Homo-oligomer: A and B are copies of this chain.
Amino acid sequence: MDLEEEVLARIERQRKLRPRFRDDRITMVHGAGGKATHTLVAGLFAPAFANDALAELGDAARLDIDGAALCLTTDSFVVKPLRFPGGSIGELAVNGTVNDLAVSGARPQAVTAAFIIEEGLDADVVRAEASAMAEAARRAGVAVVAGDTKVVERNKADGMYITTAGVGVRRGGAALGSASIRPGDKVLCSGHIGDHGTAIMLARGELELDADIVSDTASVWPQAEALIEVAGPALRVMRDPTRGGVATVLNELAGDAGAGMVLDENAVPIHSAVKGACEILGIDPMYVANEGVLLAVVAPEAAGDALDAMAATQGGAAAAVIGEVAEEPEGMVLVRTGFGGTRIMDMLIGDPLPRIC
């Protein structure tokens, strides 16, 4: 097959694979970022809103408006508790949207912020989150340009929810997308995984564990920009592994690309405290949410330079090549374990960590 035929065949395959949403009620699992979320989005929302920009189901929509090459994205944040070691809902709300733009190859420019506040919330909590958002925006180089506030009665929210939307300008002509992934490509990870989700768990007091684990919430635009500049068209795709973690993102990429992914467990950067906490909880850190980690697939000839460039950025010191793309098994992720074995790593099923972001 030539390239065009191959792309058309992939689109056709995806169309056939479009899941149907058959559940009667919405449950917590539909918000967990795994298979159930994917089914809700791809099986209910995407067909309803059918259009080219949404059909990609990427982290942000690509739009050409008035001659500008933009990306547009949105996320709601319902994290519990509102403040946790290393961050807070406001910081998360800015960085989360900034990162959806960044991994779409767009320099984040402006964000909006909409607040749904539960009646009776201490005004100092609102004040603190406004400050946290302003500071996160300053660090990420974006402006908070528009907002809205709604108040609902007690027990109709949980303190406050924040929804941000963001607009960014696409850099260069990069045709970023999973369709460009090829066997032999390398999978790069910008930093330690599992910090955010584990910090939230500890902050909830669900573990009687006193570990020094802080959320990684931060903009990944520095890493994304470095990759765009150094790798150019050799940069295939970038993603930020939030809900569902690294495992879910790699499964989505493998499925979209119709390729296999082989992950080298020993190469994945992870703090020992996070590893220990996850062992105690019986959770695989590969499924734990990150809020300042970037995954990238890069052509093999550019992988070395890309890794060096990413490692030189602020927050990129732990960057590593963690795996590679294989011909098969198509649509699946294999993990080479530390003991020399191999296991299959599926998408997140179920909901180990509700309201993580």
Q: Which residues of A contact B (CB under 8 A)?
A: 21, 23-32, 37, 40-41, 44-45, 48-51, 53-54, 60-61, 63, 65-70, 72-78, 109-110, 112-123, 126-127, 130-131, 133-134, 137, 143-153, 155-158, 161, 163, 165, 167, 169, 354-355
Q: How far is the CA of A151 from the CA of B72 in the complex (A)?
A: 22
Q: Are the C-beta atoms of B165 and A48 separated by less than 8 Å?
A: no
- Chain B residues near A21 (CB, 8 Å)? 123
Whether A110 touches B53, Cβ cut-off 8 Å, given contacts A27-B119, A126-B44, is yes
Candidate in A37, A67, A76, A149 with the most chain B CB atoms within 10 angstroms: A76
Q: How far is the CA of A122 from the CA of B169 in the complex (A)?
A: 38
Q: Are the C-beta atoms of B25 and A163 separated by less than 8 Å?
A: no
- Chain B residues near A73 (CB, 8 Å)? 112, 146
Q: Are the C-beta atoms of A146 and B53 separated by less than 8 Å?
A: yes
Separation in Å of the A87 CB from the closest CB of chain B? 17
- Chain B residues near A63 (CB, 8 Å)? 109-110, 145, 167
Count copies of this chain in the complex.
2
- Chain B residues near A78 (CB, 8 Å)? 116, 150, 152, 156
Q: How far is the CA of A68 from the CA of B150 in the complex (A)?
A: 30
Separation in Å of the A56 CB from the closest CB of chain B? 10
Partner of A27, one of B50, B66, B115, B151: B151
Separation in Å of the A77 CB from the closest CB of chain B? 8
Q: Are the C-beta atoms of A26 and B74 separated by less than 8 Å?
A: no
List 3 tightest A-B contacts by C-beta distance, closest first.
A31-B151, A165-B165, A68-B68
